Amino acid sequence: MSSKRAKISGVGHYLPDYVLTNAELETMVDTNDEWIRTRTGISERRILKDPDKATSFMATEAAKEALEDAGVKAEEIDAVIVATVTPDYFFPATAALVQKRIGAENAYGYDMSAACSGFVYALTEGAMMIESGRMKKVLVIGADKMSSIVDFTDRTTCILFGDGAGAVVLEETDENGIIDFVQHTDGDEDCSLYQPAGGSMNPATAETVESKMHYLRQDGRVVFKKATEGMADVSLEIMERNNLTSDDVAWLVPHQANLRIIQATARRMELDEEKVMINIDKYGNTTAATIPLCLYDWKDRLKEGDNIILAAFGGGLTWGAIYLKWSKS
Ligand code: COA
């Protein structure tokens, strides 16, 4: 085992231009702006309208920007991990398409399926690849075209999700970087958040399409309760393991599923709201992309040595947290 750490040396993003506002959703389903804002914190979300573009397009754009930000050439990348639940295809992997399009000719790549925890899981794997001493530079991407699996006639889910991608370059360092991580899984046999058809359990048929089984389904109240507990639990767990008090934490980067879940997590961490990255109002829940999109939006405010906690909860059920000390120089 080497004594190396991984640090984030570049951040990139992609957001589609089309803005789907709460006002437009009011014309599509029986809902209203006030309900959506007070129950979720969301005002608008982005939608990838172009029928010829899918998750790999957004992931590729985010990856290119992250490489440029890091000053790293695509050929230097050893591995590409794409966290997504909306891959272009079941196979080939979205990561393989990205690898080709950015010209990462020396990299291998694969997709990570861990829903809203996908980015923290993928970042953990990327960090461990570098800590092992076998890899020097890894591209970690969170990208989801949620509009491809959202039923825009179901008011309980269509208000929540948006499309987007975020990417980071991980590089080897001897100093600050990713210090610790905690990940959990608890197989959700009750399917409180899932896509019923399209897999080997319910392959696509005229009936599955007719019954809208290719759209995501969620028991909102169950997921809300578990997410509120899980995200706060894991954030406190990683603080305790690393002897961090709320004063020591510069930033919480929470998965953006619901403003109330984020606020409950911050409260349990005893963290002031100005230390919490929140952009759910603009983008909604972009699943694997929420955390890197926050890092992108805040990157110019992050300072060398800042203690940062990333925390996520999602379908699976999956949840996890990462503690890193910011160092980009
Ligand atoms: N507009 C207006 N009313 C709506 C609505 C909408 N878009 N969606 C649901 N409602 C109604 C419900 O039908 C219900 O009406 P009823 O009381 O007459 O039955 C009422 O609002 C309350 O519904 P409820 O489901 O209890 O609301 P909630 O406060 O739990 O909020 C969610 C719903 C989906 C916003 C919330 O449960 C949530 O955020 N869950 C977690 C989602 C999540 O994080 N998923 C990603 C994985 S991390």
Give me the pLDDT at residue 1, please: 53
CB atoms within 10 A of CB 179: 17
Tokens describing residue 165: 């991608």
How does strand 5-14 pair with strand 163-173?
antiparallel
Torsion angles phi and psi, residue 104, rounded to 5: -85, 70
The counts of H helices and E strands in the chain are 11, 13
E strands present in the chain? 5-14, 18-21, 44-47, 79-83, 108-112, 137-145, 163-173, 178-185, 193-194, 217-218, 251-254, 307-314, 318-325
CB atoms within 10 A of CB 23: 11
User: What's the rounded Cα separation, in Å, for the pair 321 and 181?
Assistant: 6
Give me the pLDDT at residue 328, please: 76
Q: What is the pLDDT of residues 66-96, one digit of tens each?
A: 999 999 999 999 999 999 999 999 999 999 9
Give me the pLDDT at residue 3, please: 79
Q: What is the pLDDT of residues 292-308, one digit of tens each?
A: 999 999 999 999 999 99
Residues contacting ligand 1 via CB (< 6 Å): 31, 35, 39-40, 116, 155-156, 159, 193, 218, 220-221, 223-224, 227, 257-258, 285, 313-314
Q: What is the pLDDT of residues 214-254, one digit of tens each?
A: 999 999 999 999 999 999 999 999 999 999 999 999 999 99
Give me the pLDDT at residue 275, please: 97
* Whether 294 is catalytic: no
Mutate to test the pocket of ligand 1, among 28, 229, 258 (most ligand atoms within 8 A of CB): 258
**DSSP element (H, E) containing 158:** helix 155-158
Give me the pLDDT at residue 260, please: 97
Total-model pTM: 0.97
Q: Which residues of the chain have pLDDT under 50?
A: none
> Do 268 and 232 touch, CB atoms closer than 8 A?
yes
Task: Given the residues 176, 258, 285, 307, select the one marked as catalytic.
Answer: 285
Mutate to test the pocket of ligand 1, among 39, 116, 149 (most ligand atoms within 8 A of CB): 39
CA end-to-end distance (rounded Å), the chain: 25
